[in-house]
Amino acid sequence: MTESLIATVAVAAPIDKTLSYAIPAELIGRARVGVRLKVPLGRRQAVGYLLAICEGDDAGLKPVAEVLDEAPLFFAEMVPFFTRAAEYYCHPIGEVIRCALPAGLSGRGEGVSILREKVFSATTLSGEPSGTRQQQILALVREQGHVPLSVLRERFDAPHAPLKRLVELAFLTEAEVERVRDPFLATPVSADTPVEPTAEQQEVLSRIETALAAGEFSPLLLHGVTGSGKTEVYLRAIASSLKKGRRALVLVPEIALTPQLVGRFRARFVDGAASIAVLHSGLSDGERYDAWRAIARGDVHIVIGARSAVFAPLPKLGVIVIDEEHEASYKQGEGFRYHARDLALLRGQMEAATVLLGSATPAVTSFHRALGGQTAYLELTGRVQDRPLPEVEMVDMTATPYGEYLSETLAEALRQNLERGEQSLLLLNRRGFAPYILCSDCGTSFRCPNCEITLTYHQQQRHLRCHYCDYTDTPPELCPQCRGGNILPEGVGTERLEIELAELLPGARMARMDRDTTSRKGAHQQLIDQMTRHEIDILVGTQMIAKGHDFPGVTLVGVVNADATLNFPDFRSAERTFSLLTQVAGRAGRGLLPGRVFIQTYSPEHYALVCAASHDYRQFFDQEVIFREELGYPPFGFLVNLVLSGNDGKKVAAAAEALAEGLEQAGAEVDVLGPAPCPLARLRGKTRVQILLKAPARMPLRRLLVRLPQLKKQIPAGVGLAVDVDPVDML
């Protein structure tokens, strides 16, 4: 009996194991690891991903119905990476790969269309054509080697007839090639002039060079104050990796940071020595698809992107950079709840790459690992060109009358900065006009019918909106409870702050940067360009203005309501507050003029604010770990959060009680906390209950999670279970 070929397939469905299928003879030539397949699954057909091919007896196995791709979407060496990620985060491997692939390639199988374009190339034929237009076109093509039809249309009116004649005369050849959709290619860049590294940068680069030369897994924590030149270190480290014939992956926490960083990289590698691809959710499906296919073909040397770029099929990785490694946005909040920083470390380990974690405010867990020697520690203590860190002043808001959101101190500083022609940033980490509206006669507030929160009032659109499920409603003119007409907005958001500032400083050129103003494609980059050209005097925004931006003209930063993140029901609230304040303070004084920062707070004595004001990370860390160790929270313990949800609250509660009981019996070494309602007990129409698993070591949790699939069988239909390993947000 001859052996047949059998495919190991991860189906894009909530199935905790791979499945085997027979490969029909007519598909053997096209079935390769990394392609999508259409396979039978029960009574329907599903999309699966081919992970391995082996010889064996295919008796009783269903055959693969169709191969959906001409070329692999990922290479075979990435299969162990996907497998380990699925095991660690307790998520079906098919769903892991579906999440990794760009939109359009994940579920139904039809994919994204490939654009093709005519390209004209010059031949070696001597002589010149007779027509002037023909001569002009031929000269351009000879100069550039090959020119797309779209470019010729831009340069010449009605070029089709002369082009046709040039092809007939054999001066040009015509071909059809794949057109790559890349939004960054349209923006021209000039080569930058690398500055001479500082002594500290040179020391850091020397240690990175040693790690790259070793060709082994080397995790490095680069702790550099804001403005210390971390990006220059990244650029030089990547250039060194490219010289060794290896490639680079750069992760950023927000897609808003990508255009500025891509511009820096394109300017450095503008000579064509390295091709750059960008991957993030702000691109169109076609742009992401084209970038992914170019990476998979091996045409790309550097990939830059947000958290999902950690899955880019980039072979021969030499260095992985995780910029602002402390950021919570590296953690996926739904579905496959991976942490891109941790997966980058895993990938670096599996591919013997150097992994560079950069931050001015490292995560407490990352710094603790560095102190323990698990990660090498690199430090940049000063700003480039010996520029001073900004002076920070704490403004005690208890002396400010209720209802006033700007202290006189900050208002006067803004006024003076405007008179000097300098730029200012104002951080308020709450968008909209007001967090809620309230009937002042009876106290009625207006809540989302799907979620356990009040609706945010947006005055520009004249509607109330839930920022979790996107439910909207029109504000009533009369209170539905008492029929009173005194319905007023309470609190302040970025929209209200912008309006009040315009009244306070009528001559100022004002702009706002939050999710409402940057939802349109290119809007964020437009605001950055306006700030760079000094067309904006005061920029108001949420936390997106605090991260990674380099505005040399900004000399004043104000923080409105610094206590907002401090009072979150989360053990990381102090860490998040310290990081946010330190990062936004670092936007001031990055140019020739020194910077000033004003932090408005009702808690001026809190250690997170005091340490941020003095730019003292180590003092903050030493204070923070005392509380973490007492409570057994990371880095002194490990957590898994189990969230059960469903439409029937009683059924969810009963399922949670049964699951908690089973977990307690199965894992004596693990603390089972709960079940308890989630801080957001109702979200998108579903009741939510959580069980927190806590242990001083990782292995007891892993052993308990191995038992989870068996315990899940007791959960009734209509109740979902989400497993969040190493949770970052437990709301």
Nearest to residue 533, comparing CAs of 510, 514, 552?
Answer: 552
- Peptide linkage before 675 cis (omega within 30 of 0): yes
Alpha-carbon separation of residue 703 from 93, 660, 670, 697, 708 (angstroms): 19, 16, 10, 11, 9
290-299, 590-599, 600-609: least confident range: 290-299
- Peptide linkage before 24 cis (omega within 30 of 0): no
Please tell me the pTM assigned to this model.
0.88
Q: Which residue stretches of 70-145 are H helix?
A: 79-88, 93-100, 132-144
Geometric angle at alpha carbon 619, from 616 and 625, rounded to 5°: 135
Q: How many CB atoms lie within 10 A of CB 364?
A: 22
Nearest to residue 451, comparing CAs of 430, 434, 438, 470?
Answer: 470
The label of the residue with tokens 């880019």 reads: 312
More confident residue, 60 or 509: 509
The mean pLDDT of 544-562, rounded to a whole number, is 88
Q: Coil, strand or helix: which one is 417?
A: helix
**What proportion of the chain, given as a percentage, has pLDDT over 70?**
95
Sign of the Cα torsion 367, 373, 378, 381 reads: positive
What is the bridge-based pairing of β-strands 146-148 and 116-122?
antiparallel
Residue 174 above 90 pLDDT? Answer: no
Cα gap 422→418, rounded to integer Å: 6
Residues 12, 107: contact at Cβ < 8 Å? Answer: yes
124-138, 410-424, 528-542, 691-705: least confident range: 124-138
Residue 179 above 70 pLDDT? Answer: no
* Greatest pairwise CA separation for the chain in angstroms: 91
Alpha-carbon separation of residue 18 from 14, 48, 273, 563, 632 (angstroms): 11, 10, 41, 48, 37
Q: Coil, strand or helix: which one is 114?
A: coil
Cα gap 378→200, rounded to integer Å: 9
Residues 308, 83: contact at Cβ < 8 Å? Answer: no
Q: What string of DSSP letters covers 459-470?
A: TTTTEEE-TTT-
Residues 652, 721: contact at Cβ < 8 Å? Answer: no
Cα gap 300→292, rounded to integer Å: 10
Cα gap 540→425, rounded to integer Å: 6
Position 371 scores a pLDDT of: 96
Sign of the Cα torsion 449, 450, 456, 460 reads: negative
Q: What string of DSSP letters covers 590-612?
A: -SSS--EEEEEES-TT-HHHHHH
Cα gap 672→700, rounded to integer Å: 12
Q: Coil, strand or helix: which one is 665?
A: helix
Residue 366 above 70 pLDDT? Answer: yes
Domains of the chain, each with CATH number or no CATH: 4-100 (3.40.1440.60), 116-178 (1.10.10), 199-384 (3.40.50.300), 387-434+491-627 (3.40.50.300), 638-725 (3.30.70.600)
Residues 365, 727: contact at Cβ < 8 Å? Answer: no
Residue 341 above 70 pLDDT? Answer: yes
What is the bridge-based pairing of β-strands 436-439 and 218-224?
unpaired
Residues recorded for the chain:
731
pLDDT digits over 74-91, tens only?
999 999 999 999 999 999
Residue 108 above 60 pLDDT? Answer: no
Nearest to residue 297, comparing CAs of 289, 309, 287?
Answer: 289
| Residue 341 DSSP label | H
Residue 100 above 90 pLDDT? Answer: yes
pLDDT digits over 11-58, tens only?
999 998 999 999 999 999 899 999 999 999 988 999 999 999 999 888
Cα gap 180→182, rounded to integer Å: 6
Q: Coil, strand or helix: which one is 717?
A: coil
The mean pLDDT of 344-348, rounded to a whole number, is 97
pLDDT digits over 623-661, tens only?
999 999 999 999 999 999 999 999 999 999 999 999 999
Cα gap 304→680, rounded to integer Å: 34
Position 139 scores a pLDDT of: 84
Position 109 scores a pLDDT of: 47
140-149, 435-444, 680-689: least confident range: 140-149
Position 112 scores a pLDDT of: 61
Residues 435, 454: contact at Cβ < 8 Å? Answer: yes
Q: How many CB atoms lie within 10 A of CB 146?
A: 14
Burial (CB < 10 A; 0-12, 13-18, 19+), residue 469, is middle
Sign of the Cα torsion 468, 469, 475, 481 reads: negative
Computed over its alpha carbons, how large is the radius of gyration of the chain?
29
Nearest to residue 514, comparing CAs of 531, 535, 493, 538?
Answer: 493
Q: How many CB atoms lie within 10 A of CB 2?
A: 5
pLDDT digits over 260-313, tens only?
788 888 888 876 667 888 888 777 777 788 888 889 988 899 999 999 999 999
Question: To the nearest whole number, what is the mean pLDDT of the chain?
Answer: 90
Position 1 scores a pLDDT of: 42
